[in-house]
């Protein structure tokens, strides 16, 4: 059982569970709710230096991982590279030079995807042609660029 900002929820565990004994200053975010491990820590959080250390003491189902990483990213103030809806299986990464941001838009799906690019932004392809959306074939990559003001 755990609350990752979406209300208390129960997730399935598969393959293995560890027994951990949290030390002072360590926050228990989730506990096992059945069997031999019932009531023991399954996910912990501990401040370390300027960051935070998490320990997953089990192999959680994929839904929990999505919820956990979304919660951790929000807590850390991580913002999306572009303020757009990104479909599952598509990744947008950015790299900057002194005067340009390069966006690497990658489709890891077996089917094509179209992504609407943000309004009011002067994104272009590598030849300077203005882009309003990214049409990606299956397993395709597009590079868009934007001048830094």
User: Is the CB of residue 57 less than 8 Å from the CB of residue 41?
Assistant: yes
The pLDDT tens digits of the residues spanning 2-53 come to 556 556 788 888 888 899 999 999 999 988 888 888 889 999 999 999 999 9
CB atoms within 10 A of CB 145: 17
Q: How high is the pLDDT of residue 9?
A: 82
Q: Does the pLDDT value for residue 145 go beyond 80? A: yes
Q: How high is the pLDDT of residue 2?
A: 59
Give ∠ CA 60-46-62 in degrees, rounded to 5: 15
pLDDT, average across residues 59-84: 90
Q: How far apart are CA 132 and CA 134, in angstroms?
A: 7
Q: Work out whether strand 133-136 and strand 27-31 pair parallel, antiparallel, or are unpaired.
A: unpaired
């Amino acid at each position: 059982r755990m609350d990752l900002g979406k209300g208390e929820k129960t997730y399935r565990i598969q393959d293995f569970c560890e027994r951990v004994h949290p030390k002072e200053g360590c926050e228990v975010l989730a506990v096992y709710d059945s069997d031999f491990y019932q009531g023991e820590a399954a996910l912990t959080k501990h401040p370390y230096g300027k960051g935070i250390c998490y320990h997953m003491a089990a192999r959680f189902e994929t839904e929990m991982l999505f919820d956990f990483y979304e919660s951790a990213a929000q807590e850390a103030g991580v913002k999306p590279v572009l303020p757009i809806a990104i479909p599952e299986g598509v990744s947008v990464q950015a790299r900057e030079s002194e005067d340009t941001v390069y966006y690497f838009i990658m489709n890891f799906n077996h089917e094509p995807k179209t992504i609407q690019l943000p309004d009011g932004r002067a994104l272009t392809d590598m030849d300077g042609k203005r882009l309003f959306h990214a049409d990606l074939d299956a397993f395709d990559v597009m590079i868009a660029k934007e001048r830094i003001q």
